Amino acid sequence: MYTNDMIKQLFSWIDDSKNFAIELQTELTKRPAISPDCGGEGELVKCEFLENWLRSNGITSLERYDAPDSRAKGGVRPNLIATIPGEDNDCKLWIMSHIDVVPPGDENLWNSDPWSVKIDETFEKGKRLFGRGVEDNQQGIVSSILAALAFIKQGLKPKRTIKLLFVSDEESGSVFGMDYLVKNYSELFNKNDMVLVPDGGDEKGEFIEIAEKNIYWVRFNTHGKQAHGSRPDIGVNAFIAGSYLALRLHNELSEKFDEKDSLFDPDFSTFEPTKKENNVPNINTIPGEDVFYMDMRILPRYSKDSVFCEIEKIISETQNKYHVFIDYSIIQSTESKPTSADSKIVKELSSAVTKIYDVKPKIIGIGGGTMASFLRNIGIACAVWTKTEKTLHQPNEYVLLENILKDAKVMLQLIVN
């Protein structure tokens, strides 16, 4: 049992750990961890630094679960687990963050080097740290480490065992991260455990996410017949047919699957054409091939089969109208069962958030995807929460130092409850 003095001692250590937080953010940001899917070398360099940093600061129980990937540096995508043994090992607290980041995009839009932390002390909300990844997901990484280190540095044993998980590949589908772990090492996770994923939230720290829309990324390839631009009569314009298909999919799927659910924001399913591949390099050629992609975020009440049955019907009608052949492939398919609002993690997290941030949490669902979905699908209750400025994936991404420290206190409160 923790006395009030012990808890104050732990909180005081977190208040005094600003330099720890800045140091770790600075070192992590120096080491880009971009997926090979986005032109990077993967996460190995960043993971090895983190592993060594944790060990040098007293967290010595470390295990790696590397997913093989020949495209990545070292041929692997690392997943790291740090364990801080507690008095209760039957209900462990997992805090799961991802070490990969998205590319910086157009660096001309940044006011500083995205791979070097810039500190701004003039912001009205407090000290800001700028850099790619500082919020997504290094805020979660650093806060969870501070919460664990508080016990080690103060010589106190946690009430429940702490498991910090740092995974690869979250930004590109989690094939080499959480999906790999669930498929190959599901015995790591116990249905009695509590899981916090600090990778989504709002500016007040109110939102606790317990459900996600089903996500399907789909590539559509339209095959026509290439011809000279002056002879469309002897060609079959794949671009026209593909554009017709994209509009029909967007409009008709939205109309057919039109129910709403107030748990989510937006409260409806979305069917958005997004990426478009180049078809021909010159203006005066009728394209014989055309490729576009769709990002679909669908309320869990609709089955995958019902959606794709409608997609195939629209494809068939498009083929007949334009005399083309259309095939499609599913790039990502993520379906997620919800976590109960009455689960232990949701109730205890709600209490901790109220205590630290003085807000009344709201239970929500999201259209985005997190690693929580993979665990929910095997019966593990997960809550996604953090207090965020929502600058993830943007130029001049930043994190508030105060949010890092207070989030750590929320996590610490979960440990001592």
What are the structural domains of the chain? 4-199+374-416 (3.40.630.10), 214-334 (3.30.70.360)
Residue 376 pLDDT > 90, yes or no? yes
How far is 125 from 155, CA to CA, in rounded Å?
Answer: 33
Residue type, 409: K
Confidence at residue 332, expressed as pLDDT on a 0 to 100 scale: 87
Residue 205 phi, psi (nearest 5): 80, 20
Q: Are 337 and 212 in contact (CB under 8 A)?
A: no
Confidence at residue 154, expressed as pLDDT on a 0 to 100 scale: 94
Read off the pTM: 0.88
Q: Are 164 and 62 in contact (CB under 8 A)?
A: no
- 3-state SS class at 37: helix
Q: What is the mean pLDDT of residues 71-93?
A: 95
Interval 101-147: pLDDT, tens? 999 999 999 999 999 999 999 998 999 999 999 999 999 999 999 99
How far is 150 from 12, CA to CA, in rounded Å?
Answer: 9
Q: Are 408 and 139 in contact (CB under 8 A)?
A: no
How far is 353 from 348, CA to CA, in rounded Å?
Answer: 9
Active site residues: 100, 170
The torsion region of residue 379 among left (phi > 0), alpha (psi -120 to 50) and beta comes to: left
Q: Are 24 and 160 in contact (CB under 8 A)?
A: no
Residue 94 pLDDT > 90, yes or no? yes
Long-range contacts (CB closer than 8 Å, 24 or more residues apart) made by 252-256: 252/310, 252/314, 253/296, 253/307, 253/310, 253/311, 253/314, 256/310
* Summary mean pLDDT of the chain: 96
> What confidence category does residue 334 fall into, taking pLDDT thresholds of 50, 70 and 90?
confident
Interval 275-307: pLDDT, tens? 999 999 999 999 999 999 999 999 999 999 999
How far is 245 from 231, CA to CA, in rounded Å?
Answer: 23
Q: Are 271 and 367 in contact (CB under 8 A)?
A: no
How far is 98 from 138, CA to CA, in rounded Å?
Answer: 8
> What confidence category does residue 173 fall into, taking pLDDT thresholds of 50, 70 and 90?
confident
> What confidence category does residue 88 fall into, taking pLDDT thresholds of 50, 70 and 90?
confident
Q: Are 226 and 287 in contact (CB under 8 A)?
A: yes
Going by C-alpha positions, the residue among 100, 84, 101, 80 that lies closest to residue 92 is 84
- 3-state SS class at 49: helix
> What confidence category does residue 355 fall into, taking pLDDT thresholds of 50, 70 and 90?
very high
Residue 72 pLDDT > 90, yes or no? yes
Confidence at residue 282, expressed as pLDDT on a 0 to 100 scale: 97
Confidence at residue 2, expressed as pLDDT on a 0 to 100 scale: 82
Going by C-alpha positions, the residue among 382, 283, 404, 287 that lies closest to residue 337 is 382
208: its two tokens: 């606790």
Q: Which residues pair with 285 in a beta bridge?
A: 228
Confidence at residue 270, expressed as pLDDT on a 0 to 100 scale: 97
The DSSP H or E segment spanning 222 is strand 214-223
Angle between helices 138-154 and 4-15 (to 10 degrees): 130
Q: Are 361 and 354 in contact (CB under 8 A)?
A: yes
Residue 1 pLDDT > 80, yes or no? no
Angle between helices 138-154 and 18-29 (to 10 degrees): 140
